Amino acid sequence: MASRAPAATSRLLVGFRKWYYNACGFNKLGLMRDDTINEDSDVKEAIRRLPEQVYNDRMFRVKRALDLSMKQQILPKDQWTKYEEDVHYLEPYLEEVVRERKEKEEWAKK
């Protein structure tokens, strides 16, 4: 029984994550999780470093979401971003920017 507990807990967490992902509503506008991150200076720099195609895809999703929001509409269900399709495309760039900023701050202290 004890060996089953982690698997059951894992399935429960995945189920909760999927429910929460859909409850947030940004997927109904075709957005990904990384499209909704508040743009501070680190995020702006990470966005600037994105490959051109990834940046263009992001801008398309954001503009489409703004248009849908203005019209108070959502996408047809078959066009919603699915939990399994949502990739954290910005995360590696953001981690790199934060690491570089912290390194600069450490150098400034010396």
Q: Are 41 and 105 in contact (CB under 8 A)?
A: no
pLDDT tens-place string over residues 24-75: 999 999 999 999 999 999 999 999 999 999 999 999 999 999 999 999 999 9
pLDDT tens-place string over residues 59-68: 999 999 999 9
pTM of the model: 0.82
- Residue matched to tokens 């992902």: 21
64's CB contacts (< 8 A; 6+ apart) are 29, 30
The pLDDT assigned to 109 comes to 86
The pLDDT assigned to 9 comes to 78
Q: How many CA atoms lie within 13 A of 57 on its CB side?
A: 13
95's CB contacts (< 8 A; 6+ apart) are none
